Amino acid sequence: MALLEVRLDAVAAMRDLIGDSIDPVKSAVVAELAGADGVGIKLTDDREEERMRDLSLLQEIVNSRLNLIINSSKRQVDKALAVSSAMVTLYDDVGLADSKVIASMKEAISVLKNNKNLAISIKINPEVTEAKTASRLGADYVEIDTSRFALTKDYHDRTMELERIAAVARAAFKFDLMVSAGGDLSYQNAAYIAEIEQVDSVSIGKAIISRGLLVGLENAVRDALDLVK
């Protein structure tokens, strides 16, 4: 089974709406106390001062793996260099099928690895070609996007997507990449991803935070751990 990374982006978004009564840093502490193996947060260009404050505090208090999710722009890479995270995950909504994205990712990885001792992950679509490209770029991990699997309502389509994810995980492992997976996973489907042998860790965000509003974040994290462990 897999490790659990709790994504904190939904907490940050809620704070933007309702104020400081909910906070990513406090949520990270609770998630770790509940047994989470890591926390992840996306760096955004809006509310930059607030986001950097979060990251400054998170790097001090997180004892598990802190995963910073960024795009490959120079602006965000420079911000990542100012933070002591254990992992940086690079993403682009286009995926790794675009030559400009590949070139930008290559430059970002070079800068990060030359300046920091950290693991580099690239978020990919469930395509073997993208896993191969990530390996060629020098990534240590790939994070397979599970959104299509998680969101489809059709049983046949969901089964096909799960098979695609498993095939990409196997291919990535053969390319000497560690494998994580995430994207719109819920309590109803995360276990299917965690059962894939090559998947080292599973990322869950909105589902845990939403459940936490009902049962408390600590209980929500423990419930998720029961599913993926």
Burial level of 57, CB count in 10 A (0-12/13-18/19+)?
Answer: middle
* Predicted pLDDT at 1: 87
Q: What is the pLDDT of residues 18-50, one digit of tens each?
A: 777 789 999 999 999 999 999 999 998 887 788
Tell me the pLDDT band of 123, cut-offs 50, 70 and 90.
Answer: very high
pLDDT at 15 > cutoff 90: no
pLDDT at 185 > cutoff 80: yes
How far apart (Å, rounded) are the C-alpha atoms in residues 96 and 76?
18
Q: What is the pLDDT of residues 213-228, one digit of tens each?
A: 999 999 999 999 999 9
Q: In the chain, what percentage of residues exceed pLDDT 90?
A: 88
Query: Do the beta carbons of residue 28 and residue 8 sit within 8 Å?
Result: yes
Closest CA to 125 of 164, 89, 95, 102: 95
* Predicted pLDDT at 86: 94
> Region 84-94: what's the mean pLDDT?
94
Q: What is the pLDDT of residues 162-177, one digit of tens each?
A: 999 999 999 999 999 9
Q: What is the pLDDT of residues 62-82, one digit of tens each?
A: 999 999 999 999 999 999 999
158: helix, strand or coil: helix
* Predicted pLDDT at 16: 76
* Predicted pLDDT at 70: 97
Residue 90, φ and ψ in degrees, nearest 5? -95, 140
Domains of the chain and CATH, by start: 3-228 (3.20.20.70)
pLDDT at 120 > cutoff 90: yes
Cα 78 to Cα 34, 53, 122, distances in angstroms: 32, 15, 17
Average model confidence (pLDDT) for the chain? 95
> Region 188-210: what's the mean pLDDT?
98
* Predicted pLDDT at 74: 95
* Predicted pLDDT at 176: 98
* Predicted pLDDT at 49: 81
